[in-house]
């Protein structure tokens, strides 16, 4: 079985982004970029499935500018076998991403497609579900435990009420939640080795035959409304008095 892992290059999760003064976007020049943390978990899970002898090959794919090769090389250094860059110089929205990934999933005859449940830049949480739908295959989203059993899998999902377990037939799409695993650290020799692993580049248009995009238009970016400055109290008596005064207890 081949596993396709889809990743996204995003502003590193430790960076607190700022909206540009003219409202045209967020400032990303010179900001540290990383693999979306949920996607890193997806890579790790794919590698563990392969290491358990349940998959033959882990292919990592991303859609983005040429700079996203850095993130693909990191994934290769973690242990992925080969990489595909679908090059796009403009920002793309979820439906286009899912359509493009569908073409790759079919071409590679992937048994599993794994990716993060959301990217921490746009926080959309859509692409995995859209891919599953366009592919007409099962999805398991927000997965915190995955067990592959031949042609099916048991997936435990983090849902509002607790932990939901579903059984899905493969091929299928998995989106990862935080507690699925802890991604491994990359070692220097692996970075050297990763440089020799295959990385194919194709233009996004090659993956979008017949696709008719209904893009949403982003009119403006702004900073969130700050909360009003609060007060500090010295002890529990003052705290309780404040809560009572506000009618909260």
Partner 1 sequence: MSKILILAQHDGNSVNQGTSKALTAAQQIDGASIDLVIFADDVSEIAAKAAKLAGVNTVHAVTTTNENWKLAQGIAAKFAELASDYSHVFGPSATFGKDVMPCVAALLGQNQISDIMQVIDATTFKRPIYAGNAVITVKSNHDKIVATIRTASFKTGDMTSGSASIENHSIDNAQTDTKFVSLQTGNSERPDLQTASKVIAGGRGLGSEENFELMYNLADKIGAATGASRAAVDAGYCPNEMQVGQTGKIIAPDLYMSFGISGAIQHLTGIKDAGTIVAINKDGDAPIYEVADIGLVGDLFKIVPELMEKI
The encoded tokens of residue 135 equal: 């592919």
Placement of tokens 């079985």 in the chain: 1
Judged by CB under 8 A, the chain residues 177 through 206 that form the site for partner 1 are 177-179
Nearer to partner 1, 22 or 234 (CB): 234
Judged by CB under 8 A, the chain residues 110 through 169 that form the site for partner 1 are 117-118, 120-130, 132-134, 137-139, 141-142, 144, 154, 157-169
What values do phi and psi take at 148, rounded to 5? -90, 125
Bridge partners, residue 99, by sequence:
none
**9 near partner 1, rule: CB under 8 A:** no
Judged by CB under 8 A, the chain residues 36 through 55 that form the site for partner 1 are 38
Inter-helix orientation angle 69-78/37-51, to 10°: 30
Judged by CB under 8 A, the number of residues near partner 1 is: 82
Q: Quick check: 164 and 139 in contact, CB under 8 A?
A: no
Interface residue with partner 1 among 67, 107, 149, 221 (CB under 8 A) is: 221
In sequence order, the 6+-apart residues with CB closer than 8 A to the CB of 102 are 131, 134, 135
**19 near partner 1, rule: CB under 8 A:** yes
**33 near partner 1, rule: CB under 8 A:** no
CB of 76 to partner 1, least distance (A): 27
Residue 231 CA to residue 19 CA, distance in Å, equals 28
Nearer to partner 1, 188 or 235 (CB): 235
Half-sphere exposure for 116 (CA within 13 Å, toward CB): 22
Judged by CB under 8 A, the chain residues 50 through 109 that form the site for partner 1 are 93-95, 98
């Amino acid at each position: 079985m081949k596993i396709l892992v889809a990743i996204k290059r995003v502003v590193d999760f430790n960076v607190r982004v700022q909206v540009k003064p003219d409202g045209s976007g967020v400032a990303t020049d010179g900001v540290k970029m990383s693999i979306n943390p949920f996607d890193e978990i997806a890579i790790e899970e794919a590698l563990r499935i392969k290491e358990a002898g349940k998959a033959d090959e882990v292919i990592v794919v991303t859609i983005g500018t040429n700079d996203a090769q850095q993130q693909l090389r990191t994934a290769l250094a973690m242990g992925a076998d080969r990489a595909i860059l679908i090059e796009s110089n403009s920002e793309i929205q979820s439906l286009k991403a899912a359509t493009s990934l569908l073409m790759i999933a079919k071409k590679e005859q992937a048994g599993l497609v794994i990716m993060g449940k959301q990217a921490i830049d746009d926080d959309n949480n859509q692409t995995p579900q859209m891919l599953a739908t366009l592919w007409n295959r099962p999805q398991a989203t927000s997965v915190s435990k995955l067990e592959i059993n031949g042609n099916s899998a048991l997936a435990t999902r983090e849902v509002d009420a607790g932990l939901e377990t579903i059984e899905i037939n493969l091929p299928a799409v998995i989106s990862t939640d935080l507690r699925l695993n802890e991604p491994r650290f990359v070692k220097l020799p692996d970075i050297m080795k990763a440089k020799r692993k295959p990385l194919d580049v194709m233009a996004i248009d090659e993956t979008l035959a017949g696709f008719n995009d209904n893009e949403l238009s982003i009119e403006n970016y702004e900073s969130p409304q700050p909360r009003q400055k609060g007060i500090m109290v010295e002890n529990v008596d003052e705290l309780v008095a404040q809560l009572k005064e506000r009618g909260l207890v």
